[in-house]
């Protein structure tokens, strides 16, 4: 399908509001926290999705997706390819619906993310190290067992669910000037940009991705999604090698810019968030604040950093943040 055809299927504000209604009483409405001492001329707010169920924003999309499945589809069980956070979210949503869940995770998955999925009752299958490895194995299991695939990001229902983050930002801060959001496969960034731009057209929405995984940067330069030969970063939740096609159409319509951040800056941001705000952020979750600290993004007016998650085990946190 061409990008122009995909653009006609963009998620609407009504889709995001429907997702919010489905999530009411199930997802946590995360607060906006004022971060002092960041910029004298602006107010910087943090949207801490590590306080969300399963420790990341992914629960929003996963629960919304399962809520719209037919009873027959749920009865067959669901499967999700994931580096970690989507897997835990699908496992939690499946548990709430009484559904069996299988998750396909990389062989390099962090102990915290694997343990989280298993604790929530999911069957864990390990497959390779790339997004493609996980997706290929998930597709095989769909064919073998008749499971229902829960896409990680390239799906309108997933985008609408993640877009509730942006909806909450505009409700809590109607005059928001800038929203900074992480970019992995593109579900969160597409949904947040859509909600924010449709409700506050004057606001800037900036995406941030790791320097070692610039899939959206490359896509915007080429005016189409492109496949990276490889990706590498501490931000394991943002290592997709290609932006989703539907996600990219939303980015082209609503995202003002995308910037990249190096790994060293992620560690500095994690340390600041822990020391000053008492927030535990995984590298992927800290990337938006890192963009502010490095000057990759300049705060203007009321600026919101979406902190996408905090799923990192104690040993990993200690090893990253200990003085060198």
Whole-angstrom distance, CA of residue 114 vs CA of residue 34: 32
* Residue 272 CB neighbours (<10 A): 19
Active-site annotation, residues = 58, 308
pLDDT in tens, the chain (324 residues): 454 555 568 999 999 999 999 999 999 999 999 998 777 789 999 999 999 999 999 999 999 999 999 999 999 999 999 888 899 999 999 999 999 999 999 998 888 888 889 999 999 999 988 878 898 999 999 999 999 999 999 999 999 999 999 999 999 999 999 999 999 999 999 999 999 999 999 999 999 999 999 999 999 999 999 999 989 999 988 999 999 999 999 999 999 999 999 999 999 999 999 999 999 999 999 999 999 999 999 999 999 999 999 988 888 888 888 876
pTM, full prediction: 0.93
Which domains, ranges and CATH numbers included, belong to the chain?
3-56+155-321 (3.40.50.1100), 59-149 (3.40.50.1100)
């Amino acid at each position: 399908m061409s990008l122009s055809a995909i653009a006609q299927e963009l998620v609407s504000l009504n889709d995001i509001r429907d997702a919010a209604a489905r999530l009411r009483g199930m997802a946590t409405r995360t607060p906006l926290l004022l971060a002092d001492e960041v910029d004298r001329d602006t107010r910087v707010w943090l949207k801490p999705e590590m306080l969300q169920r399963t420790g990341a924003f992914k629960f929003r999309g996963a629960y919304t997706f399962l809520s719209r499945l037919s009873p027959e589809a749920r009865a067959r069980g669901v499967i999700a390819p994931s580096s970690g956070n989507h897997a835990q979210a699908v496992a939690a949503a499946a548990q709430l619906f009484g559904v069996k869940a299988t998750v396909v995770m990389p062989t390099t998955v962090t102990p915290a993310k694997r343990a989280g999925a298993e604790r929530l009752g999911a069957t864990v299958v390990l497959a390779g190290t790339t997004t493609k490895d996980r997706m290929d194995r998930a597709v095989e299991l769909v064919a073998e067992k008749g499971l229902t695939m829960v896409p990680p990001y390239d799906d309108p229902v997933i985008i609408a669910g993640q877009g509730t983050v942006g909806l909450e930002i505009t409700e809590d801060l109607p005059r928001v000037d800038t929203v900074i959001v992480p970019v992995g496969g593109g579900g969160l960034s597409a949904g947040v940009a859509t909600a924010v731009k449709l409700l506050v057209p004057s606001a800037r929405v900036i995406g941030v991705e790791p320097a070692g995984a610039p899939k959206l940067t490359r896509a915007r330069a080429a005016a189409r999604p492109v496949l990276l030969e490889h990706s590498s970063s501490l931000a394991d939740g943002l290592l997709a090698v290609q932006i989703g096609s539907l996600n990219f159409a939303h980015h082209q319509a609503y995202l003002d810019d995308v910037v990249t951040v190096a790994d060293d800056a992620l560690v500095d941001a994690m340390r600041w968030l822990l020391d000053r705000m008492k927030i535990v952020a995984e590298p992927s979750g800290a990337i938006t604040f890192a963009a502010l600290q490095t000057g990759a993004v300049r705060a203007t007016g009321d600026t919101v950093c979406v902190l996408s998650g905090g799923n990192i085990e104690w040993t990993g946190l200690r090893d990253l943040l200990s003085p060198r």
